[in-house]
Structure 1
Amino acid sequence: MSEHVDAELEKAREALADARILNENDGSTAGVVNRVYYAAFHAAQAVLSERGNLPEDEDHVPSHFAEDVVMVEEIPMEEAQFLNSMRAYRKKADYEHETVELDLDAKIVRAERFVDEMTDFC
């Protein structure tokens, strides 16, 4: 595993820890959603990096992950769907004025599974 892959996985774990802390201490929904998304984002970025595919732009990570990893490897499509759904929730939480209603505990658990599975693929 390369240094860059290790760094991405570490960022994923840090984001998960942040999400847990925010959620346990009544942090904002937007803050928890942001950290859950970035946990998944960095784990996906680690898998892409391991395969020599570094998207130029952050916005391209979910599509590259779906096209270059999920479609080619034995990673279930639900993983790409989770990453994309969390990206949409993050954008809604960050940029729209309506409240995002989610089971944050479930999203954190799901992100933990995502990070663990992507670590295994690295």
Structure 2
Amino acid sequence: MRAVKDQADDMLQQGCRMKFDKSQSIHTKLKMVESILSDDEIRTIRWIKENYDGGRIPLNHARICPQQDEGSLDCGAFVMYYMDRMAKEEKMPNKVTKAQIMKFKAQIFKKFAEHKQSWNSAN
């Protein structure tokens, strides 16, 4: 816990964080660069410092972990689906089908498209 708060203090004091430079890195050697903290990142770091005590977030070990269909390249959507179910404390299926992921992606797209600040809104 102390290390997390120390790292947060360092980032806030320096006003930046380290991140991987995708354009200059190769799989055998990763290059790190400084990135200026955005206002959202600063607010998030401050919130974590003020609210996270190292013990209030329960850790649950999943005995059954759903798997994607073989050959699926939708790992991002799969992880979002999994995290959404976890956050809602819903039962996890043993296997996640392509149809389930497609339905979930459609729901996410609909939320973005209908949001008041989406690309198709007047504001």
The question of a shared fold, defined as TM-score above 0.5 by the shorter chain, is answered with no
TM-score between the two structures when normalised by the length of structure 1: 0.25
Higher RCO structure (Cα 8 Å, ≥6 apart): 1
Query: Which has the larger Rg?
Result: 2
Higher strand share: 2
Higher helix share: 1
